[in-house]
Amino acid sequence: MIFHSGQLPNGRWGIFLDHQLMASVGCFDTCQKTIQFLESRLSTKKLTKLKINIAVAPYFQNIKLI
* pLDDT tens, residue by residue, 8-61: 999 999 999 888 899 999 999 999 999 988 888 775 555 555 555 555 665 565
pLDDT at 41: 77
Cα 7 from Cα 54, distance rounded (Å): 26
pLDDT at 6: 95
Note the helical H segments in the chain: 28-43, 49-55, 57-61
pLDDT at 29: 92
pLDDT at 66: 46
